[in-house]
Each structure stands twice: as C-alpha cells, then as structure tokens.
Chain A
C-alpha cells in the first residue's frame, strides 16, 4: 500500500478535496448553490504562485513555511474581496440561475488566466518553490487546516449566523420576515466559501509545484458538487467524507487492478477505464443515496442525549431550492 500513497500525494489530495468540498458546502448552508469554488481556488493558487516566484526570492534551500502561510492569508483576502464584489450582484439570483452565473464566473476567470501575461498564459506558472523535502510533510499544513475549517464550520452551525443561514436555506422569505437580512447572510456564506477555496488554492500551488488555467475549470465545479452531494449535504461531515472517498476512489480502482490474479481484460479495464466506473458510481450514488453517505440521522442518537431538540432538525428538507 505504501506505493499507493505516492509519497503522500494522494493523502494530501484527499485533504485538499475535503476542504474544497467544504468551500462549496458553506454557501449551500445558506441554500445557495454556487459552483464558483474552482474560480477562487484558481485565484488563490495564482496569488501564491505569483508571490512565491516573483516577489519572494528564496535564497536556495527550502522555501520558508511562514511565507507559505502568508501567501495563504493573502490569497484568502484577495478571494474574499472578489467574492464580495461578485457576490452582491450575483446572489440576487436563485437556484439554477445562480449556479449558471457562477459557472460563467469560473469560465471568465479561466479565459483571463489563459491569456494574461501575469498568469503565464497557457503554460502557466511553474517551478513554484517547495517548503518541504517530501510531499507527505505538507500534512503539517493541510491537516491542521482541515481540522480548523471543520471546527469553525462546526461552531458556525451553532451560533446566530449559522442559524440565520439555515433559516434562509429553509425559507428565504420567512427568514426575511423574521428580521434576518438575506443579502448580508448569503454574501457572507458565499465569501466564507471563497476564502476557504482561495486558501486551499494557495497551498495547492505549492503542493503541485505548478499552476495553470486547468486548475480552475468547470469539471472541478462538478467534482466538488459531487463530493458534497455524494458525501451528504446536510452536515459538514458529509463533504469531508465525500471529498476524501471520491478522490481516493480512482486510485483504489487502480490498486485493485494491480492486485493481480484478475483476468487481463478486467485489470486493463480497471486501469484505463477507471473513470468510466467513477462516472457510473456518481450516477448510482445519487440514485441509491439521495441524501448522501453521511446524514445527520447518523449522529442523532448521540445528540438527543445532550439536548432535547436535535440541532439538525428543521434542516432536513432538500438542500437548495430554486
């Protein structure tokens, strides 16, 4: 199995995918289906790539970790500001219209990054300096970052803001009538998601060592959406589990093919056709697990003991309404 982990690359990818799924889950908490995460992911990555290759001039040796952290912070700020600018007009839209507007946003960013000089055009930016000797050491940043974002979302769901998100998700008009400002809360949820995607992008740029326009594409929007919906969109554990499993799945299929003892054609199919299986599994997953793999009911027993009313109650209806 050690070879499977490819110096920890798969493990890091799984953690990054979990956080990207969370970045899509955040606006979904307020009932907003936004597919903008890859755009902010790309923006964050370019921020880090440009900063580390142009402005910080590393004097040989390993790239200092505090610089990486600073880039992640800057990427978060940049993405947050862009999210507010894009979010205020775009979040007047609902459901599928918002999804389409965010797809347009991602595509416009992609075309821009393909053509601008600062982003290295079609070639992109390469030779992004590495702070660590081995990929697995990125765990020191990615691991705590995932735990931190999970903890913050766990807290968010339990404070006034998170409850306002849930109210808007359930019924925006009723929430507004109760004195909750829908625009403020929707833009806030969207911006939080964008900041997380941007921070992850900044880290990914270092992990991948190169950054180009392929990082922020529509395909990724879909992948992240699949992470959330297959994992479960009603608790933040769902996106984390979904992101990790779906990232690991194609590699697992490859590992199965390598086990040996299988007929040649089957091993060959598992190796080269594993994305076919991936697609079929996504389709089957939505049909057989319409609520996702992780649902709040899984935790309900424990929650009942602590309080009379489960925190997940009232959010058990569908995830995003048009």
Chain B
C-alpha cells in the first residue's frame, strides 16, 4: 500500500467514522439519561435524510401516495440540512411522548420500552414507504456545485481523489462533536444532563426538571441522527425507508465499543470503527459489515464497560 492510497483510506475512514460518531452520540445521549436504547433512532436517521431531500426541492418518485409531488420550496443545502435535522429532532420528541413517556410514568420494565420504541420504528419506516415508496433517492449533484473540487492526491496519471462530500462530512461531524462537547461540559444545561445521567432521582430532588431535560435529550438525539442521515444519504444515496435500520445496528456496535452512555467513548469508537472498516483488504471487502459486529462481540467479552470506561462494581 503506497502512501497516497494510505492517506485516502485514512480520510475515508475519518469521514465515515465521523458520521458513526454523531449518529452514535444520539443513541448514547438517550442511554446516558434513561438507561434504555432507543431503537427508533435509526428511523429518525432515515427521516432526517428524507426531510433534507425534500427541503432542497427534490421530486419524489413514482411509488407511494405522494408520487410525483413537486416540492414548492428549494432551500440552499446548509439551511436544508439544519432544518431537516431540527424536524428530525422534533420527530424524536414525538417518539419520546408516544413510546417512552407512557411507560416511564408507570415505571415499567425497560425491556418493554425497547419493544414500544421498536413498534414506533416499524410504524415510521412503513409510513415513509407508504408515502414515498421504497425507491432509492439520490441527492442531486447541483447541491455540491458551489463547492471546491475534491482534493487530488497522487500524480496526474494515477490520481487518488478524495471526494468533496467526504471532506464536508468530516468537517460537519467535527463541528458537531466540538459543539456538543461544549454543551455538555460548558453550560448549565450540560451540567443538568450530567447530573441526571449520574443519578436521576437525586437530580430531580435538587430541582432539575427531569421531564423537560428528557425532551431536550430526545430532541438533541434526533437532531444528531437527522444530520447523520443527511450526510450518509449525501455520500451514498437514500437507500429506501429501511436505510436507517442497518445503520442503527452499526450505531449499537459503536456505543458498546465506546461504553454505553459514554460520550467521548462514542466519538472515539465511531472513528475506530470507521477506520477499521476502511482498512479491510479489497479481497475481503464483502465482509466489511461484519467488522463492527466482530469488534462489538470481542469488546463485550473483554471489556463490557467500553474503551474509556471504568469497571462497574456489581451491587448485591
């Protein structure tokens, strides 16, 4: 492997790793507060991609109830990305109200919440399919038109290009990680979030409005999921309503590797899995999707507390 190819693989890995990281941050935020995995997160990811796709003024395909609907608005991509993510965040809040709050109010088994969030995920995914069909949607090339051309490593005869999209993805994910880290560590809201994740009962006794904080967490989680959805949709294409399910499973691998509920761990793990996948040798590329799960399995057996975690003492 020569140096330019190596560099290209590293950039590939960092770009996809960045997306894994922000997607997994959405999972891990909810887990750190509620100790429950929100299985509807993958569906919100899909919604985010579709929202942005609509907001930039794209047309729907031939299937579904909304077939051939021309959207009257056409926003510039950065605005659409932000608005799409906000809409995804709001959907995530709705998921909380429908699938989490009724069960939490009753103090039900967390396992049931897992199933109710899955039920909502099934409903969302099939609603998308009902509305816009199971087609694959590709972001139009013009959204990247105003951007500088990809960097070219290597010589003119054997160019090793890095796609503009990958650089955008990496940049956006870095910005998100920095902003989120600031939000968690540098603001009052972040302090409250950390307090609730440490001990929800004590935090609420100390005057923290847990319900509002949970809503905020779900909004942030959906926002991050929505951005991740758009970025992945942009770098490949929106592969139908089930797009988020496979990605959601990989997100699980990321949060376990990082340590469930551990925010810096999730970012680190996202990049590790992204890089590990991009270094799978070409002849084994078909097995790429198993890398994350093999890492997950090994990690659970060796260090279930995650990369950066401390061992949890079993209380009797």
Contact = CB atoms under 8 A, between A and B. Distances in A.
Interface of A: 33, 89-90, 92-93, 96-97, 100-101, 103-105, 107-108, 111-112, 114-115, 173, 218-219, 222, 225-226, 229-230, 269, 272-273, 275-276, 278-287, 290, 318-320, 322
Interface of B: 35, 37, 39, 98-99, 102-103, 106, 108-127, 129-130, 245, 249, 252-253, 256, 260, 286-287, 289-290, 293-294, 296-297, 300-301, 304, 316
Contact of B122 (A90, A92, A225, A279): A279
B300 A290 contact: no
B118 A100 contact: no
Given A115-B287, A276-B123, A97 B106 contact: no
Contact of A107 (B126, B130, B293): B293
B316 A104 contact: no
8 contacts: A33-B111, A107-B249, A111-B286, A218-B249, A276-B130, A278-B122, A278-B123, A279-B122
Given A219-B245, A272-B130, A290-B109, A283 B99 contact: yes
B115 A104 contact: no
A280 B123 contact: yes
Contact of A97 (B122, B124, B294, B300): B300
Given A100-B252, A319-B109, A90 B130 contact: no
Contact of A279 (B126, B287, B289, B304): B126
Contacts of A218: 245, 249
A273 B119 contact: no
A226 B245 contact: no
Given A111-B290, A276-B127, A100 B119 contact: no
B306 to A, nearest CB: 11
Nearest to A282: B119
Nearest to B302: A89
A188 to B, nearest CB: 20
Given A90-B300, A104-B296, 4 more contacts: A103-B293, A226-B115, A273-B127, A279-B119
Given A226-B115, A282-B122, A287-B103, A90 B304 contact: no
A169 to B, nearest CB: 13
A269 B65 CA distance: 10
Given A96-B37, A218-B245, A287-B103, A104 B126 contact: no
If over half of A's interface residues share one DSSP class (helix, strand or loop), that class is named, otherwise mixed; here it is: helix
A272 B127 CA distance: 10
A59 B297 CA distance: 44
B123 to A, nearest CB: 3
Specify which of A107, A273, A275, A281 lies most central, judged by the most chain B CB atoms within 10 Å of its CB. A107
A287 B289 CA distance: 35
A21 to B, nearest CB: 13
A229 B115 contact: yes
A226 B127 contact: no
Given A103-B252, A219-B245, A279 B300 contact: no
Contact of B119 (A105, A269, A280): A280
B118 A282 contact: yes
Contacts of A222: 39, 115, 118, 122
A108 to B, nearest CB: 5
Specify which of B39, B99, B114, B297 lies most central, judged by the most chain A CB atoms within 10 Å of its CB. B297
Contacts of A290: 103, 106, 108-109, 112
Nearest to B252: A100
A89 B301 CA distance: 7
Contacts of B109: 290, 318-320
Contacts of B114: 225
A117 B195 CA distance: 53
Nearest to A233: B111
B293 A108 contact: yes
A100 B296 contact: yes
Contacts of A275: 122-123, 126, 129
Contacts of A108: 290, 293-294, 297
A322 B112 CA distance: 13
Specify which of A114, A272, A283 lies most central, judged by the most chain B CB atoms within 10 Å of its CB. A283
A218 B99 CA distance: 20
B105 to A, nearest CB: 10
Nearest to B255: A100
A104 B130 contact: no
A273 B130 contact: yes
B290 A112 contact: yes
A279 B297 contact: no
Nearest to A219: B245
Contacts of B122: 222, 275, 278-279, 282
A96 B300 CA distance: 11
A269 B297 CA distance: 41
Given A96-B260, A112-B290, A115-B287, A286 B112 contact: yes
A282 B297 contact: no
